[in-house]
Every structure is written in structure tokens, then in C-alpha cells.
A and B are shown apart, each in its own frame.
Chain A
Amino acid sequence: MDRLLVTVSTLFFLIGCVRTWQVLNSGGDDPGLIDYGIHLAGFLGQFGFLLTRSVRTGHCPVTNSFEILIFVCWSVCLFYLLVGATYRMSPLGLFTAPSLFVAQALALWLAPDPEPIFGRGPTLFWIELHAALSLMAYGAFGLAAVASIVYLLQDNKLRKHQPDPSFFQLPPLVGLRQVTIRLMFAGFVALSVGLVAGFSEGIPATWVKLASGIFVWLAYALALAFRMWRPQGPRRGAVVAIVAFVLALLSLGGMEVVKANNSKAVIH
């Protein structure tokens, strides 16, 4: 039943994909309220799922790959809704909607989602906080990567000297750069607090988890430090934001694979 909410949310992002296709092809209506509304509807579906799952399991809903993917998508959507309204970045929705649609469709189709059991294992506050904040950081990093993709597209169109109608509907370069840095910084703070929370419970982490956590933290720490003190140019900065997010996703996927293998070994 709760998966139905994710399906509905995914359908809203599918509508967003159609809008993206329309606007980028014909330079149709100005992106804005419609995209924002589509994301809000999708966000409510995700939130409904996460809330229901949380009530059913008694834990932060990040207990399997499906829940983790939806949590990250929810987090991307949350940051989009905040950034879109605050920095007039709602046209970013033209790119977040397809990304969220693909991620959620893959989650519905492929990600394992065993029947949730209430109260499996004790509820450990710091571990739950660690999981939630770390995945919210991934959401911020994800949106930063989307903003960087839009930056590179806009930069490329400007350099070709042939901007198409969609060029004039996407956010300005300076705004995209600022939003990328702010999102990376917000994600970095959330990840740092999340890592500290993870250590606070006193439960030893597996080496894979520890290594990937520190790896992602270091990658973003270096990217931000260079951007602040030794700027290499916004184009290179955008590429770094995209590569860093891909690496973060790979490390998250790696952790899940190792966790799944360990579970199988325990069962056998």
C-alpha cells in the first residue's frame, strides 16, 4: 500500500518529464509555478511513504535499498523546494523531475524491499540521526550536481553563440554557481554532523562504511576548500560537483552491496 504512494509520486515526476521535453524543445511557457507544483505533489507522495514506513517499522525509513533511494529522492525534492522558492531557481525543476523519475522508477522496479517488520532491533537515536542526516546530505549533493549540469549546459550554449529559446528560460550562471556552492556546503555540514552522530553511539562501523563515509566527506571538503581558497573556475567547479556526487552514489551503492552480501553470509 505504501509503495502506491511512491508510484503516485513517480507519476507526478513523469508529468514533470513531459514539461521538460516541451519547454526544452519549444521554449514553451516559462518554468515556475507549474514545475514547483509538480515537485510539491511528488514530495507529498514521498513524504507519505516515508511517514507510513516509519510508523510501520518504528525506525527511520532507511532500512533497505528501496527506502534509502526514496529517502535520497525525498531529500533532493526537499532541497529543490527550498532553493527554488528562496533563490528563484524553480526552472531547475526541469532537470530534477527527470532525475527523480528515473531514480524512483528504478527503485520501484529493481530495489529490494522486503516486507517491513515492526520493532526489528532496538531504536538507537544517534544511529537513526546519522542515517537521516547522511542521506539528506546526499540529497543536497544531488541537487548541487543537477545545478552544475544546468550550469554546464548554459555555459556551453553561451559559448556556441547560438542560445536557443530554452536558454533564456533557465537560471543565470551566477545564480547556478552560488546555489551549487551553498548546496554543497549545506550537504557537507549535514554529512559532518551525521558522521559525528554515527560515532556517538559507540557501535563500531564496518570498514567499508567507515572508509566510504570518510572518502565522501574528504572529497567534498577538498572540493569546497578549493572553491573557497583556490578557485579553479566555475566550469571546473561544476564538473567537480558532478563527479563528487557520482562517487558518493557509487560509495552508497557499494555499501549496500556489501551489506547485502554480509546478510546472505549470515543466513547461510
Chain B
Amino acid sequence: MKYLPRIEATKPEVFCIGLSHQTAPVGIRERYALPPSPELLRGLAGLAGIGEVVVLSTCNRVEIYTSGSAEDARVSLRTRLAECEKSCPEDFSHFYEFRAGQAISHLFRVACGMESMVFGETEILGQVKTSYAQAVSAGTVGKILNTIFQRAFQTAKQVRSTTNITRGSVSVGSVAVDLAERIFGNLRSCHVMIMGAGETSEKTARALLSRGARGLFVSNRSFHRAATLAAELGGLAIHFDEWLTRLNDTDIIISSTSAPHYIVRRGQIENSLFLRRERPLFLIDLAVPRDVDPDVDQLDAVFRYDIDSLEGIAREAMNQRRKDIHLCEEIIAKHTHEVLHKLLSHVNINDKTHALERELQTNLSCNPELLGESKPPA
């Protein structure tokens, strides 16, 4: 028999309990990682005070959103969470709880990537959508959570399209990939060479391969290490002194050796230019001290980026994202206010003790800008 949410039977108060990378280390988060199976969702929905439920469980956060009676839901959920394996009472100091407008606003911030480890990342929106879809298919979503989650998706879409918080790359690997795409367009015809099998160069190579780069050479002083990495990434290991012979077949070189001097010199690249026939060469120098002679910058169709320049671009992108925080907050406040109004219109307005109405009044008195009254600049 299909589970029917008990929306009408309970007061439509929204409640959220959870913990995230901001409040708890991974050792605690993993204890409460709840795979949102239909059985779990229906089990939670059967607890006292809970009419509807959605569980958002990612590597960085576990959150449970409910509608019903907030106080009863709080007690039921804390009891249920205490039943998790390896749970201990001290863990509850890491949990946060939100009600009504705060819970809605929190969900909107999560969906927009504002609570993510990498500020503005977009993967979280997909995870919120998946969690919502799982709850819908388990039949634990009704009118209230449906309204709130649909509005969360709208809010995230608006924030993405009207602000810069998702723009630009904020890690060295993704900056390198973006630059490669601006040089070569499609990476499907590109061959990558790793010189020195370091961790960052491996990550960067993986990122390039995931965007379609079709070939990989791995060159390392220890051939064994090169062979291992090449096997792992589906590339070809070559001896360290052979890299120059493969230069004409290579479009992108990622270098991170521990050599105390330049490995890639201007003369070596210059000699290969005629044979390359105007094909660009992108040199990603992640080594300190640098592996690539900065003089190669003078050569046509050769582009060199060292670790400082890549990190500089990533930092600038993050600054750009953070500049738009206040715009995101405004959008979220507007949507939260509208959702609260919409939910309020669904409940009995004569019930003056209703928590949602109280919350709305509190929100309005604390945030006069929600009513269009301008706030003096801080």
C-alpha cells in the first residue's frame, strides 16, 4: 500500500535537523550518514510529529527536513538519530536545528551552494533534487515540502543566472582545464603529457581526461611510478629522457618534477614549432622550483602557466563569487518571505498561535527590507 503523508493531521510547521562539514568532522558525520531508502523515509514519516520528510545525505552534510509539529519532530528525530550505530550523546552538540522560516532559508542556502565546502559549487543542487525525488517516490512529500523544495530549485536557478557565485573555477585543476578549453576548444583531439607524477598533476590530468582529452603520456624519473600511474589513467609510460621525442604529439604538458633547474627550455620548444604547424602548446608548470623556463612565453602559440598564476585565477574567481553574497541573500530572503506567505495562506489564519505565522511576524519585524523598506547601509 502506498504511504500517504499525514499532512492534514498535523500542524504544518517546518523543521530541519542536521550536521555538516561546518559543524562536525567527518568521523562524526559518517555515523549519521543516512541512505535515503524508501524504508528509512517511510519510517521517519511514521514518527510522532512528522507529516512529510526529505533526507539530504551527502559526503558533507546530513539533513532531515520535516513538516508537521516541529517540537514533536525534534524529539522523535533526536531519539531516532541516537539509535544510529556508534552514536553518542556528545555528538548532538554538533547538530543544528532550524524551524519554519529559518529552515526554509537554510534549505535555499544549501541548494544555492552557499553552505558548501567550495562556495557556490553546483553539484549540491543535483543532490538536493535527488533527495527530493527519492522522497517523492517514497511518498513522504506532500503539499508543504513540495512547495518549499520547488521554490528552493527556483531560488538556486535565479541565484545562478543573476549572480556570479557559480562563475569561474576555484581549484588549480579546474582552472587548468578551463584554460585548455579556451585554447583548444574541444579537448577530444588533445594529448596530455605528465612530467613528474605528483598528486596535483595527477588530479589535473584526470580532470583533462574527464573532459575528453584522448591520449596521455606519463614520464617520471622512476619508470615504475610512471608505469603505475599510466596504467591507472589509461596512458602510456615513457622514460624521463624520452619526453622531448614525444613533444610533437603532445598538446598539454603538466609538469611537477622536483628538479632544481628548468626541465623544459625555450630552445627545445622553439625547435619543435615548425613541425607543430601552428598547433598550440599549453604548459602547466605545477613545480616549485619551476620546471618550465619563463622565456617560452615569448614563443608564438606557446602558453605557460605556473602554480602562482593558476592559484591567482582560482582566488580571483572565489573573490568574484563572494562579492555577490549580498545579492544571493536578498534573493533568498525574498523567496523565503514568499514561501512563508504561501504556506500561511494554507493554514487556518484564526489560529493565532500557529508557529508559521509567528515566524513570519518575527521575520518581518527583524527584516523590514522584506516589506520593501530600505535598510541604511552598514
Contacts and interface: CB of A to CB of B under 8 A. Distances in A.
A161 to B, nearest CB: 4
B167 A173 contact: no
A235 B182 contact: no
A158 B278 contact: no
A171 B183 CA distance: 9
Nearest to A167: B182
Interface residues of A, number: 25
A233 B182 contact: no
| B interface bracket (residues with beta carbon within 8 Å of A) | 20 to 34
A236 B303 contact: no
Interface string B22-53: 00000000000000000000000000000000
Contacts of A232: 300
A172 B305 contact: no
B273 A233 contact: yes
Interface string B153-185: 000000000001001100000000011011111
Contacts of B313: 161-163
A232 B168 CA distance: 33
A159 interface: yes
A171 B274 CA distance: 25
B305 A231 contact: no
A165 B168 contact: yes
A172 B184 contact: yes
A158 B309 contact: no
A27 B323 CA distance: 15
Contacts of A168: 168, 178, 182
A236 B297 CA distance: 15
B182 A161 contact: no
B34 to A, nearest CB: 38
B278 A231 contact: yes
A172 B301 contact: no
B261 to A, nearest CB: 22
Interface in B254-288: 273-274, 277-280
A175 interface: yes
A203 interface: no
A172 B278 contact: no
Contacts of B168: 165, 168
Contacts of A175: 185
Contacts of A167: 182
A3 interface: no
A167 B316 CA distance: 14
B330 to A, nearest CB: 18
Given A231-B278, A237-B278, A163 B300 contact: no
Given A161-B312, A165-B167, 7 more contacts: A27-B167, A163-B182, A165-B168, A168-B168, A168-B178, A234-B278, A234-B300
27 contacts: A27-B164, A154-B182, A158-B303, A159-B303, A161-B309, A161-B313, A165-B164, A167-B182, A168-B168, A168-B178, A171-B185, A172-B182, A173-B183, A174-B184, A174-B185, A174-B280, A177-B278, A231-B274, A231-B277, A231-B278, A232-B300, A233-B278, A234-B278, A234-B280, A234-B301, A235-B301, A236-B300
Interface of A: 27, 154, 158-159, 161-163, 165, 167-168, 170-175, 177, 227, 231-237
